[in-house]
Structure 1
Amino acid sequence: MDVSGDGVENVTSDDGLRAARDRAVQAGIIINGLPIVTNDPDLDDYYKNNVIGGSDSFLIAANDFSDFGNAVTQKIGREIKPDKPVPEPITILGSLAAGGMGIVLRRQKKQKDTANSV
């Protein structure tokens, strides 16, 4: 899960926020932070202490809203692991086509079996 924002004005309780984060982490959710520090230069520290969590969590701060796209690009780069290649689109399409073909063949066999039993 990714959490981004430019302040803490919507937080009603830091303790409640940390408790929710801890429950999510215990459930196996990794929470990354993408704070926009334009109005609060310490927001990245707040995210480190109260928002992010999980074994592989990370934080990438954007200096301002115009820098947010760069932060997202960095985030995606960190999440793509070189030891786990992304399948090519043709591989995905081939898998979907093969699955669809299996469904069609199964329906035809079922229709044949039904016709023969009548």
Structure 2
Amino acid sequence: MLLRLLIFVLIASPLAAQTQREAGLELVLLADASGSIDADELAFQRQGYALAITDAAVIAAIGNSIYGNVAVTYVEWAANTAVVVPWTIIDSEETARAFADALTGPPRQAYGSNAIGSALLDAKRLIERNDIIAPRAVIDFSGDSIRNSSGPSIREARAEVLAAGITINALPILRPEDGRRAGANLEEEYATRIIGGPGAFMVTAEGRNSFAETVRRKLVLEISGLMPPAQFAAAKKGNATYPSRSARPK
């Protein structure tokens, strides 16, 4: 993390600042819109993220961060990916509200079966090709399945993302209230096959009643650069190392 911050400071020259926006974090909210998510569930997910991003705790986390802002985009994935809200610098309650308002209106544009590998690589490209420079980059992947029906494998895509110094966090979605618990081993699969990179973690959404609160808690952790206590303790015992992301001009 210190090396990444040092690189960021060195390349954040006055010339680069003329063409690029600075943020403390680049965050891709990569939400499931595959065939298992109907129109009502899609709207519910968007509303949950809209409530979370405007929550006072999230606004406070942004305000208390080193840069006082974050860059966020909301993307839905299925067989294809679709940007619902483009890159937005959130640095106040007003900009958070504008992001939330933009999130709830657009029509669905992602359809079909699961292409998780493609979704991860598309999120990576969104980070690499934007006009934002930041010392940290995170893909926040959410879904109710680990199936990968088309496109590159999850393993290949994940490796490419991690090699770029981008962290992948996860939000596995379980639905016990409607009798459709999304895979008995979904949390284990996400822990071993999805998340990775510096400070990677996952938080499980147990159902509708707690979805917005789960997203809120996850956003606070991501913005603050923290991990859930139990996963932090587990990570300290591991020996995994990941490359730092060079926040170089794009």
Do these two structures clear the TM 0.5 threshold for a shared fold by scoring above it?
Answer: yes
What RMSD over aligned residues (CA atoms) do the two structures have, in Å? 2.1
The answer as to 2:218 corresponding to 1:80 is: no
Q: Which has the higher contact order (CA 8 A, sep 6+)?
A: 2
1:1-118, aligned counterparts within 5 Å?
Answer: 1-9=139-147, 11-12=148-149, 16-38=153-175, 39=181, 40-81=183-224
Secondary structure at 1:63 match in 2: coil
Deviations 1:40-99 (A, max 9, x none): 2321111011111101111000112332212111111112339xxxxxxxxxxxxxxxxx
Contact 1:36-1:65 within 8 A present in 2 as well: no
Q: What amino acid is the match of 2:195?
A: I
In terms of Rg, which structure is larger?
A: 1
Q: TM-score, normalised by structure 2?
A: 0.30
Counting matched residue pairs gives: 80
CA distance in 2, matches of 1:77, 1:23: 26
Which structure shows the higher helix fraction?
Answer: 1
CA distance in 1, matches of 2:174, 2:201: 16
Q: TM-score, normalised by structure 1?
A: 0.60
Contact 2:146-2:190 within 8 A present in 1 as well: no
Secondary structure at 1:80 match in 2: helix
Once the two structures are TM-superposed, the CA of residue 6 in structure 1 deviates from its matched residue by 1.0
CA distance in 2, matches of 1:41, 1:71: 19
Q: Which runs of 5+ in 2 are unaligned?
A: 1-138, 176-180, 226-250
Identity of aligned residues (%): 35
Deviations 1:3-28 (A, max 9, x none): 1011234x138x91012101101101
CA distance in 2, matches of 1:80, 1:8: 26
